[in-house]
Amino acid sequence: MEQSTPSISIVLPCLNEATNLVSLLPKLKQAQPHAEILVVDDGSTDDSAKICQQHDIRVVSHPQPLGNGAAIKAGAREAKGDIIVFMDSDGQHQPDDIQLLLNKLEEGYDMVVGARHSNTHASTKRLIGNTIFNKLASFMTGQKIEDLTSGFRAVRAKHFKKFLYLLPNGFSYPTTSTMAFFRSALPVAYIPIHAGKRDGKSKIKLLNDGLRFFVIILKIGALFSPMRLFLPISVLFFLLGVINHIDNYLSSGTFSNGSLLLYTSSVFIFLMGILSEQISSLHYRNTDKE
């Protein structure tokens, strides 16, 4: 009996990418002829939706731009496949690389991410920024993260959809989803890819989105790996208290209010970490249930 629901869905968030879709969609259909292709038109003002209709591609339309993450969530909800492949609609990702992700997924992984080579980043600043984010996120999760912000990934839908409520509406959905999978002990793999240069102007503003990524990583650290965030800070305040205590004792033989404040802050931060750890565990108590 032929299976009515496609096993693979390809979701492309789209905002004014008509020019790129003209060449991308035929390549996608050729590379994955049996996959469901779903374009989420996030309030485009060009002919993106019309181009999709011309190529007989299913479109989910937003009346106004809601954000890249919002488009990803809408696409994941509408996708019918057991496996969802997310990729950009700006031509950076190669349709032929999809099979590489799927092959790796068959080895038992629940998420496979296309990790960009260093020479395929748009600029040196972005390369440095992504490297810093990767290192920080690796520390937060205790796992090596090769490309935290790559939007080219294949996931098992049954797991990914459990975390939709955690995903932000902006550009940082890859960050959140990667950390969520690690925190839930769902295996994640990386394969190297060469990301092409996008046509047109990027919608990511390096400074503003970079600062937002940094704040999001700290928030996610507090949610997914609280003690990795709070414990070092607590220890730092305690050591500062000890140094201040010794300095005041040697100079005046007194115990200063500054030392008391640092000791107290250290204890409060440690207790906040414990409380956050308990709250964090509540988010994952049902992740092993189908």
Question: Residue 262 corresponds to which tokens in the numbers above?
Answer: 């640092």
What value does the mean pLDDT take over residues 103-132?
A: 79
89 versus 122: the higher-pLDDT residue is 89
Tell me the residue type at 246.
Answer: I
Integer Cα distance of 290 and 280 in angstroms: 20
Class of domain 8-205: alpha beta
CB 41 within 8 A of CB 68: no
Q: Which of 31-40, 185-194, 212-221 has the lowest mean pLDDT?
A: 212-221
272 has pLDDT over 80: yes
Q: What is the pLDDT of residue 142?
A: 75
Question: Residue 64 corresponds to which tokens in the numbers above?
Answer: 């106004």
128 has pLDDT over 60: yes
Q: Identify the bridge partners of residue 37 per DSSP, sorted by sequence position.
A: 10
CB 146 within 8 A of CB 190: yes
160 has pLDDT over 70: yes
Integer Cα distance of 142 and 70 in angstroms: 28
Q: Where are the beta strands (DSSP E) in the chain?
A: 8-14, 36-42, 58-62, 83-86, 111-116, 153-156, 188-193
Q: What is the pLDDT of residue 1?
A: 42
CB 115 within 8 A of CB 198: no
What value does the mean pLDDT take over residues 171-184?
A: 83
User: Please, which residues have CB within 8 angstroms of residue 74's CB and are 6 or more apart in sequence?
Assistant: 40, 60, 62
Question: What are the pLDDT digits (tens) for 196-236?
Answer: 665 555 555 555 556 766 676 676 676 677 888 889 999 99
Phi, psi at 229, each rounded to 5°: -95, -50
112 versus 277: the higher-pLDDT residue is 112
Integer Cα distance of 282 and 174 in angstroms: 22
Instruction: For residue 116, give the nearest of 160, 148, 155, 141 by alpha carbon.
Output: 148
pLDDT tier at 70, thresholds 50, 70, 90: very high
Q: Which of 54-58, 180-184, 210-214, 248-252 has the lowest mean pLDDT?
A: 210-214
pLDDT tier at 166, thresholds 50, 70, 90: confident
The length of the chain, given as a count of residues: 290
Question: Residue 259 corresponds to which tokens in the numbers above?
Answer: 């030392």
Query: Cα–chain-centroid distance for residue 183?
Result: 13
167 has pLDDT over 50: yes
Integer Cα distance of 69 and 72 in angstroms: 5
CB 25 within 8 A of CB 51: yes
Instruction: For residue 37, give the nearest of 1, 85, 73 by alpha carbon.
Output: 85
Percent of the chain clearing pLDDT 70 (strictly above): 82
Three-state DSSP class for 23?
helix
208 versus 30: the higher-pLDDT residue is 30
User: Please, which residues have CB within 8 angstroms of residue 28's CB and are 6 or more apart in sequence?
Assistant: 10, 35, 37, 95
Burial (CB count <10 Å: 0-12, 13-18, 19+), residue 183: buried
Q: What is the mean pLDDT of the chain?
A: 84
What value does the mean pLDDT take over residues 233-240?
A: 95
Sheet containing 153-156: order of strands:
58-62, 36-42, 8-14, 83-86, 153-156, 111-116, 188-193
Question: What are the pLDDT digits (tens) for 90-111?
Answer: 988 999 999 999 999 999 999 9
Tell me the residue type at 244.
Answer: N
6 has pLDDT over 60: no
Tell me the residue type at 107.
Answer: E
Strands 8-14 and 188-193: unpaired
